[in-house]
Amino acid sequence: MKPALPDRFRRRAQRQWLIGRAIRRRGVLREVSNRTGDIRSGDILAFVTQRNERIRLPYFLDYYRDLGVSHFLFVDNDSNDGSADFLRQQRDVSCWTTRASYKKARFGMDWINWLLMRYGRNHWCLTVDPDEFLVYPHCDSRSLPALTNWLDNSGRRSFSAMLLDMYPRGALDEQIYQEGQDPLSIACWFDPANYAISKNHYYGNLWIQGGPRTRAFFSHDPLRGPALNKIPLVKWHWRYAYVSSTHMLLPMSLNQVYDEDGGEMASGCLLHAKFLSTFAEKSTEELDRRQHYANSQEYRAYSAGLQSGSTLWCRESRAYQDWRQLEDIGLISRGNWA
């Protein structure tokens, strides 16, 4: 049946609905520390939702400070490991806390959409999780402001960075992660070439699946495996909204981060260091909370997979070296950023 409204209007209505939700639910965010007055025009901002990630935060913050993020805006979802206190002490962090349901806030995106709308306008905004580390072409010699400056000059408003799952060589709990340690020194392996891509014509984004999670945990039903496409870096405007995690945005022109005429556009990767020693505990906890996407089926699969003692590593795994390696393999591209 043909939809009653043309797609264009449906998308617009959805965008307005998303923005409306974000505004309506802003009340659940309780301010812990608000240093947003320090934000200068042209600063790059990071938006993060976190829950009980205290041990990961120091390295995470330093990593992005080094890249050139000037200010972090955190939503702390009911942590009880002291992470809110830790964040309060950081001079470049503003933090809000909430005990509301992660699931009912569309997996935190309502909160993030609100903060983006309120503080992200006219800034390049990076929306990531505490276990995601952005790499982009030339990231070893050029800072994030160099990238955003170039994107500005090229007339681009969004930058794609696919999620690349990283895992350790042995069992997940073999090496204990210490605070402040580079998680990628433990989880440094990735799958090079098992990604399936299809295009979502309604939102105009690419839908990427595959990687170790799908291979190991969803082998019985790989089509339900997690999506890996992400657009985490956006020059924000208050009328924008993330639709589902950072997989896609509205208006749909922001999802056009790929070339369809054979060329390559510049893109990066989010190295996803989820699979550390902290993971087993975390996944049991998350399973109890039942706050994740599609009935937490992802966490169910993990816990089943973990109990059988499987490792993610296989003979075809590659050890991560640098962005050049990712570019040679064809996971990222420098496009025309010479």
244 lines the binding site for another protein (CB under 8 A): no
254 lines the binding site for another protein (CB under 8 A): no
Structure-token pair, residue 136: 């982009």
DSSP letter at 227 equals: P
Q: In sequence order, which residues have a C-beta less than 8 Å from that of residue 147 and are 6 or more positions away?
A: 136, 159, 233, 337
260 lines the binding site for another protein (CB under 8 A): yes
Task: Please give the residues from 261 up to 300 whose contact with another protein meets the rule CB under 8 A.
Answer: 261-267
For the chain, the maximum distance between any two Cα atoms, rounded to a whole number of angstroms, is 56
192 lines the binding site for another protein (CB under 8 A): yes
Is-contact 84 32, C-beta < 8 A?
A: yes
Among 120, 212, 226, 232, binds another protein (CB under 8 A): 212
Structure-token pair, residue 294: 């599609």
160 lines the binding site for another protein (CB under 8 A): yes
41 lines the binding site for another protein (CB under 8 A): no
Stretch of residues binding another protein (CB under 8 A), selected from 13-21, 118-126, 194-202, 235-243:
194-202
3-state SS string over 61-120? Answer: HHHHHHHCCCEEEEEEECCCCCHHHHHHHCCCEEEEEECCCCCCCCCCHHHHHHHHHHHC
Stretch of residues binding another protein (CB under 8 A), selected from 174-182, 241-249, 252-260, 286-294:
252-260
Distance CA 117, CA 297 (A): 31
150 lines the binding site for another protein (CB under 8 A): yes
Task: Please give the residues from 60 up to 79 whose contact with another protein meets the rule CB under 8 A.
Answer: none
Minimal distance, residue 261 CB to another protein, in Å: 5
158 lines the binding site for another protein (CB under 8 A): no
Indicate the residue among 143 and 284 with the shorter CB distance to another protein.
Answer: 143
Among 210, 226, 232, 305, binds another protein (CB under 8 A): 210
Whole-angstrom CA distances from 314 to 87, 192, 220 are: 37, 11, 18
Structure-token pair, residue 167: 């895992």
Distance CA 232, CA 163 (A): 10
195 lines the binding site for another protein (CB under 8 A): yes
Minimal distance, residue 36 CB to another protein, in Å: 24
311 lines the binding site for another protein (CB under 8 A): no
Among 80, 89, 141, 307, binds another protein (CB under 8 A): 141
Q: Which among 105, 92, 89, 100 is positioned nearest to 54, based on CA atoms?
A: 89
Minimal distance, residue 321 CB to another protein, in Å: 16
196 lines the binding site for another protein (CB under 8 A): yes
Minimal distance, residue 67 CB to another protein, in Å: 13
Structure-token pair, residue 50: 């976190």
Distance CA 17, CA 20 (A): 5
Binding site for another protein (CB under 8 A): 138, 141-143, 145-146, 149-150, 153-154, 160, 162, 191-199, 206, 208-210, 212, 214-215, 219, 221-223, 225, 229, 257-267, 314-317, 329-338
